[in-house]
Copies of this chain bind each other. A is one copy, B any other.
């Protein structure tokens, strides 16, 4: 019997199955520094202890997407090692902030399965949760992936497609304990704009592009212990679909989120991930740009210090965003165009 893990195939995902993912991970200042060096994020609370303490937090929490990636990375060996495509996210709620010294573990539950008509692949829906050492949820989200069957002749399971929420509602948000944004210092944060300054339908071109090198996306992806081979093995990938290593889509999310600082500099906390799609692949040498639209605004029940903005952020490659590009028309993965379409809630001072 082989001792080598080859990941789960479509047949291995039975409805209701719980997967307790391996490799607990204590995160540290080292992770935060690397994340900064790879993304150029500038949201003030994540890299200034005094700024965070002024908000009632014990110290600077990790960037929310770094927390997401660490939790996500653990699911890869069990969920998506044999995935052909990471199809989407929905219903993601960010829980307690993650701090240096915390330890993340992840579990997933299979919430839907649907074999494809070709009998070679199927779609698996999971709800994954990353928790800290106290069992508190750090992030909890659904995603669905297309996974290869091990045996094409295996009978199809009964199709169960879960009803996924269109969006997270404000009452589902987890506000960090002690958080009080009434003392939030916008000047120090680098942006004068707060909740009241944004209007629904407003679009923002975040300007500056970021070119990605192979070493950069690979270092990010290894940091999260995401072991999907398509990101790392050029010897195999040179004969693969694209002839190239593919950049982990999460790295694109991180770059796009970091870019939104320019225009949304006080949107300091991601509260929820309503949905998201990796519209196209990115490769080393691509330059990422992003633009955003304010989809909705909501006050937070009982709070005068904070409001919530629902934002759609679109990331492109090798195409600037002054025209707010919506969609890639080409099917050539190397053409410029949209690579990410993300719908999420942020907290922002009022």
Instruction: Give the interface of A toward B (CB within 8 A).
Output: 2-6, 20, 22-26, 28-34, 36-40, 42, 44, 47-51, 60, 77, 100-101, 103, 105, 133, 187-191, 193, 197, 204-211, 213-216, 218-220, 222-223, 225, 227, 229, 232-236, 245, 262-265, 285, 287, 289, 318, 320
Contacts and interface: CB of A to CB of B under 8 A. Distances in A.
A105 B188 contact: yes
Contact of A26 (B48, B101, B190): B48
Contact of A245 (B4, B23, B30, B211): B211
Nearest to A31: B33
B188 A22 contact: yes
Nearest to A1: B197
B218 A213 contact: yes
Among A51, A187, A209, A211, chain B packs the most CB atoms within 10 A around the CB of: A211
Contacts of A188: 20, 22-24, 105
A34 B25 CA distance: 14
Contact of A6 (B207, B216, B236): B207
B33 A28 contact: yes
A58 B33 CA distance: 23
Interface of A is mostly: mixed
Contacts of A189: 22-23
A50 B102 CA distance: 10
**Number of identical protomers:** 3
5 contacts: A20-B187, A30-B32, A30-B34, A105-B188, A215-B215
Contacts of A31: 30, 33
Given A37-B34, A49-B26, A233 B205 contact: no
A26 B3 contact: no
Top 4 closest pairs, chain A to chain B, by CB: A30-B33, A22-B190, A235-B287, A28-B29
Given A36-B225, A211-B233, 15 more contacts: A3-B193, A6-B207, A22-B44, A22-B191, A23-B44, A23-B189, A26-B47, A30-B32, A36-B223, A37-B220, A37-B222, A39-B222, A209-B229, A233-B287, A234-B287
A236 B153 CA distance: 51
A206 B2 CA distance: 11
Contacts of A211: 214, 218, 232-235, 245
Contacts of A36: 222-223, 225
A24 B51 contact: yes
Contacts of A44: 22-24
A276 to B, nearest CB: 23
A20 B50 CA distance: 17
Among A101, A222, A235, A318, chain B packs the most CB atoms within 10 A around the CB of: A235
Contacts of A204: 3-4
A6 B236 CA distance: 42
Given A22-B189, A219-B216, A235 B33 contact: no
B25 A47 contact: yes
Nearest to A25: B47
B50 A103 contact: yes
A227 B208 contact: yes
A262 B48 contact: no
A231 to B, nearest CB: 10
Contacts of A190: 5, 22-23, 77
A234 B285 contact: yes
